Chains A and B, each alone.
Chain A
Amino acid sequence: VSIAPVEVERPEVHELPAADTPWVTIVWNDPVNTMSYVTFVFQTYFGHPKQKAERLMRDVHEKGRAVVSAGSREAMERDTEAMHGYGLWATFRKDD
């Protein structure tokens, strides 16, 4: 038994390499779509529970926009297109 400090192996925190930086989908606030509709779309499309969908909706409403999904560019293009189908104004971009 030693009282010397034990060398603890710390798990390394892996930073995502730049090439894998995910893309994000952003939904922007607009004066037409109602809060209940936006919440319902988030519940339906993303499968969020009502509370989470409402929190996202409030972010959109109060902050002017919210990141609603993150992932590959292809997936974000799909989400953006789906949001446009629902009449929400979405954009996608590389997450900085």
Chain B
Amino acid sequence: MGLLHFGERPFTGHRRSVQVHLDGQERAVLVQLLTQLDDLLDDGRAPATDPLAELLGLCDLSGSDAFATPTAPPEDPAVARLLPEANRDDPQLATEFRRLTEIGLRARKRSGARDAAASLQRPDPVQLTTDEAWTLLKAITDLRLVLGERLELRSDPDAELLHRRLLGGDAPDEWLATASIYEVLTVWQESLVAAMSRRRS
């Protein structure tokens, strides 16, 4: 697992908050990944730092923008997984849906990644509100989807194979690094879900 170790409980749920127990190094890795997620989703369409990006995205629909509204799935399969086709039989429906929703969805995923990174960079002890915890949970999900695509996980057996191959250790360094991060994110995500759902009951 290299530099990253598994804390006993990365997240714990409390009455009104989720407490983050990741250490500084773990948080730094997560922040770096979240920044990469924001960059990956940058299609040059809307300014990344503008809180009104979503609103501007809507302006695109008027056709006054120099950029055409998206009609085809993104070329990068990992980005396409985050912004998937909404109909598998009717390409026209899928295109129409994409034209209406992709800009907003992309902007929300990007601002979510940035907000999650910002919340993790607050001074100790880091406590997240329910909304902040959901923002982090969704962003970790998106990261796992991107890495899962890079690792070519296409079926449930693929995911099981990944675990065995990782334990075996006889794989290229780059693959091992990506797969290790993927597994760590899985552990963190499971812990975050447990912390959040315990809070509900």
Contact = CB atoms under 8 A, between A and B. Distances in A.
B119 interface: no
B184 to A, nearest CB: 14
A86 B197 contact: no
Given A77-B97, A80-B97, A84-B83, A32 B142 contact: no
Contacts of A80: 86, 97
A33 interface: yes
Interface in B129-187: 134, 137-138, 141-142, 144-145, 148, 153-156, 158-159, 186
Interface string A70-95: 00000001001100111101111100
A43 B200 CA distance: 10
Interface of B: 81-90, 93, 97, 100-101, 105, 108-109, 134, 137-138, 141-142, 144-145, 148, 153-156, 158-159, 186, 189-190, 193-194, 196-197, 200
22 contacts: A31-B155, A31-B159, A32-B145, A33-B144, A37-B189, A40-B193, A40-B196, A77-B101, A81-B97, A81-B101, A84-B82, A84-B83, A84-B86, A84-B105, A86-B138, A87-B138, A87-B141, A87-B142, A87-B144, A87-B145, A91-B85, A93-B89
